[in-house]
Amino acid sequence: MKKLIAPLLIGAALSSAFGADDSLKQEIEALKVQMAELKNAQSKINIDALKSQISEIKAHDSGDNIKWTVDLRTAYDVVDYKMNGVQNQDNGIWTNKLILGMASQPADNLIFRGSLGAYKAFGQSNMATNGTMFQSFDWYGTQKPSDSTVKLREAYFIYTGDMGDMPYAASFGRRPSVDGFLANLRNDNESPASPISHNINMEFDGASFKFDMDKMTGISGMYLKLCLGRGFSETTGSYSMGATGFSPSYSEDNQTPDMDLAGLIWQIYDNGQYKVMANYFQAWNMMDINMVSMTDYHFSDVGDLTGGSLALQVNGIGDGISDFLDDSIFFLSYAYSKTDPNDNVIGSSAGPATGMLGSSDSETGSSIYTGVQVPGIMKGQRLGVEYNHGSKYWRSFTYGEDTLVGSKLAARGDAYELYYILPIVGKNLTAQLSYIYIDYDYTGSDTFFGWTGTPQDVDTTAGAVKTAQNIRASLRYRY
């Protein structure tokens, strides 16, 4: 029986195999037909037209493709002032600082960047009603606590191109002129804005033109940037009122000056370890308060101001001496300012006044700024120490410095800062503790450019701030 079954099974298997072979051949033939059809269809596709369509879609949808970033800091600051002959002042203040960053790029050579900011004290405050007439200045609109109003911090576009072997970039809008080179260390921001923060740290509207010169010169990182800005506009508002009634809208008010600035930023060298930068500026129509009477006052032009700085930053001290020094940063900067007063006579609290910084002569001031940042106790933590000193007639544009006690870099005297940065969730959530101590020699370092900026000895001037302290503890979320 077994002998009969075996041949039958073999026959059935062979028959099945031959059947499967025919089916396989049919499937292969069908696939060949399909591949031929696909090749034929592919050959008809216009790749260039498809790329063009994708570019059009990308440009059309760029408005829906803005990348947003969030930077939120909650802080508690203690400010303390020791004053000459009057009661000392101190206070503690909770704040929330929110910066919303945004960027889009509809084309390879066109970029938009911007940010909105709100920086407020906890709860309702009396800042708007207690006589702080300078609280609304947009030089530091998102850098000093106020109410919950969202303000424009930055909004500019960058157009890039090439002039032979030299790439260039042209930019217009509200400029990122706060948190610049060197200040970015204490502010724990890896990428600084372009100004040297030693003498320029405030928000501006204007334009810049950058020329990358490293390929032409063979000098690593070299570039030159021309910056133009307007710090104050002689412009009336809509439905503005004058002595005889309504004034024409947005016309010259014939009182306040157009305050303008032109500057050059020169990155001389940057190879990743050594970075050298310099700047020079000319500012026209510096202003101060012209007190016609105790109830009638406006701003008036008192003269021009020039200045400059030269700064060095070393990322990694020495050459492989130790891991600690390799991860340490050192910087040193020198800056100067020089006044050029005009002959305008304006009113002051003591009567008619002329000149700049209380002097009818051209006065030169100077400042040095140095610091070091080293690794902290645990991995990722950073410890920083900074010092600066300003002379009697030193003047800076550092109203936008992120301190509540006043700009330490504007001080005519000595200023010290100690800070410690602790990552909690990487760079996304950090804590920072800082302490600033300013020992003033002269008053007037952070006001305007005429009689209010007059240097007066803090030991002999009643009511002068002799020392100031600012302790800050903060938590910061970034993404």
Domain ranges of the chain: 79-478
Q: Are 343 and 336 spatial neighbours (Cβ–Cβ below 8 Å)?
A: no
Only one residue has tokens 């960058």, namely 158
* pLDDT over 50 at 157, yes or no: yes
Query: H-helix or E-strand containing 278?
Result: strand 274-291
Helices (H), 245-337: 323-326
- At 140, which helix (H) or strand (E)? none
Residue 172 pLDDT exceeds 50: yes
Q: What is the mean pLDDT of residues 243-247?
A: 76
Q: Which residues of 384-423 are buried (b: 16+ CB within 10 A; e: fewer)?
A: bebebbbbbbbbbbbbbbbbbbbbbbbbbbbbebebebbb
Q: What is the pLDDT of residues 77-92, one digit of tens each?
A: 999 999 999 999 999 9
**What percent of the chain lies above the pLDDT cut of 90?**
68
Residue 238 reports pLDDT greater than 60: yes
pTM of the model: 0.84
* Lowest-confidence segment of 58-62, 218-222, 238-242, 265-269 by average pLDDT: 58-62
pLDDT single digits (tens) 63-77? 567 899 999 999 999
- The mean pLDDT value for 388-416 works out to 96
**Considering only the top CATH level, what class is 79-478?**
mainly beta
Among 31-40, 348-357, 366-375, the minimum mean pLDDT is found in 31-40
Q: Average pLDDT over the chain, rounded to whole?
A: 89
Over residues 410-440, the pLDDT tens digits come to 999 999 999 999 999 999 999 999 999 999 9
